[in-house]
């Protein structure tokens, strides 16, 4: 490896966010080690990188000891199932990757002298009683609810990250990621936007839970990756919200997807799931002040790009196998 080239490990690198982060790092001249066990990631997400000499894929479950030969300058710990469907389907692996996986990734960073970033989540705020949510809000989480396996895994991961920083002097970063969408999302993800897009493209009514008045703030994947990139290069060791503070009701997002897709299937209303947050919106003051970051891609533009990708990849694949 050339002397000046930085080398980074991305755990969960074949996932939705991880694969886009790998793209960005390779484009910035990094040598990238992408680690994934493909439980929820896919080799399709990184297929375009496999011929890149500066890119290496390693099949490994981070809940087991992580071994990466050679120098590492940065570790991005992005491994974790994150779909609401996963919370009931694989709750124990979610807890293990948040606890054991984070411990292993931190230990590797310490051994290598690498800067560490934890991918945390707006889920640490639970069903918030403060709106919008600043980083110093401690949250309102049900630890024994179905969503608790993900919420508490990430809260623990933040705690152990800060413990490594304070006790071992490890150079750490924590990004709290709010609702993000874009190409490479799993169509069966269970989250709002892939659900709406998959239903619209197949001519089915869009499923809205409750009356659709609950709000969400959604950001396009390119904006998130820019925020991650800036945070890793900053000296900010406190958690930083990266999300879009523009709120939409769930019904507004459904209607926008219907309009952009040309679907006339309409909306189907269902009962609201337990512990589903009524509002989720980031206070991004810290990101603006410390990183000079704010989202750039408008919802309509981001949804159009995402619809085009789903239409060209997922929907076409379904026609071939259906």
How many angstroms separate the CA atoms of 225 and 297, rounded? 12
Residue 318 lies in a domain: no
Per-residue tokens: 29: 């001249």
Q: Is the Cβ–Cβ distance between 105 and 8 less than 8 Å? A: no
Kindly report the CATH number assigned to the domain that includes residue 52: 3.40.50.720
**Residues shown for the chain:** 322
- Of 76, 125, 150, 164, which one is the catalytic site residue? 150
Each as own residue / partner, the long-range contacts of residues 50-57 (CB below 8 Å, 24 or more positions apart, any chain) are: 52/26, 54/5, 54/26, 54/29, 54/30, 55/22, 55/26, 55/31, 56/31, 56/32, 57/13, 57/14
Residue 88 lies in a domain: yes
Residues 6+ apart with CB under 8 A from 7: 1, 30, 31, 32, 33, 70, 71, 72, 73, 74
Residue 68 lies in a domain: yes
Count of structural domains within the chain:
1
Residue 175 lies in a domain: yes
Residues 6+ apart with CB under 8 A from 122: 133, 176, 177, 178, 179, 241, 243, 280, 282
Q: Is the Cβ–Cβ distance between 75 and 109 less than 8 Å? A: yes
Q: Return the SS3 of 85.
A: helix
The pLDDT value recorded for residue 216 is: 87
Half-sphere exposure of 15 (CA within 13 A, CB side): 24
Residue 78 lies in a domain: yes
Residue 37 lies in a domain: yes
The pLDDT value recorded for residue 274 is: 66
b/e code 243-265 from CB counts within 10 Å (16+ = b): bbbeebebbebbbbbbebbebee
Residue 225 lies in a domain: yes
Residue 95 lies in a domain: yes
E-strand stretches of 161-299: 172-177, 180-181, 206-209, 215-216, 219-220, 240-242, 248-249, 267-270
Q: Is the Cβ–Cβ distance between 14 and 44 less than 8 Å? A: no
Per-residue pLDDT of the chain (322 residues; tens, 9 = 90+): 455 689 999 999 999 999 999 999 999 999 999 999 999 999 999 999 999 999 999 999 999 999 999 999 999 999 999 988 899 999 999 999 999 999 999 999 999 999 999 999 999 999 899 999 999 999 999 999 999 999 999 999 999 999 999 999 999 999 999 999 999 999 888 889 999 999 999 999 999 999 999 888 899 999 999 999 999 999 999 999 999 999 999 999 999 999 999 999 999 999 987 656 677 899 999 999 999 999 999 999 999 999 999 998 855 544 443 3
Annotation says 150 is catalytic: yes
The boundaries of the domain holding residue 163 are 7-180+220-243+281-296
């Amino acid at each position: 490896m050339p002397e000046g080239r930085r080398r980074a490990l991305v755990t969960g690198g074949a996932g939705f966010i991880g694969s886009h982060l790998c793209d960005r790092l390779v484009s910035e001249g990094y040598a990238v080690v992408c680690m994934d066990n493909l439980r929820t990631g896919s080799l399709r997400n990184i297929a375009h990188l496999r011929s890149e000499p500066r890119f290496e894929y390693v099949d490994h479950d981070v809940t087991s000891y992580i071994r990466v030969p050679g120098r590492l300058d940065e570790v991005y710990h992005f491994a974790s199932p994150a779909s609401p469907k996963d919370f009931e389907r694989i709750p124990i692996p979610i807890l293990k990757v948040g606890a054991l996986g984070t411990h292993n990734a931190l230990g590797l960073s310490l051994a290598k002298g690498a800067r560490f970033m934890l991918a945390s989540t707006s889920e640490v705020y639970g069903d918030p009683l403060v709106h919008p949510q600043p980083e110093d809000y401690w949250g309102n989480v049900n630890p024994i609810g179905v969503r608790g396996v993900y919420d508490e895994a990430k809260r623990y991961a933040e705690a152990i990250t800060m413990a490594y920083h304070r006790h071992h002097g490890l150079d750490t970063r924590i990004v709290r990621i709010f609702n993000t969408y874009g190409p490479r999302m799993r169509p069966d993800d269970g989250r709002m936007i892939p659900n709406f897009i998959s239903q619209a493209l197949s001519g089915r009514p869009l499923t809205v839970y409750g009356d659709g008045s609950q709000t969400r703030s959604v950001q396009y994947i390119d904006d998130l990756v820019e925020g991650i990139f800036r945070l890793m290069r900053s000296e900010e060791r406190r958690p930083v919200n990266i999300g879009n503070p523009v709120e939409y009701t769930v019904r507004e997002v459904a209607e926008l997807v219907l309009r952009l897709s040309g679907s006339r299937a309409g909306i189907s209303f269902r009962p609201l799931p337990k512990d589903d947050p009524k509002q989720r919106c980031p206070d991004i003051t810290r990101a603006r002040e410390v990183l000079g970051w704010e989202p750039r891609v408008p919802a309509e533009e981001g949804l159009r790009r995402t619809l085009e990708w789903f239409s060209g990849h997922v929907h076409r694949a379904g026609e071939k196998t259906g």
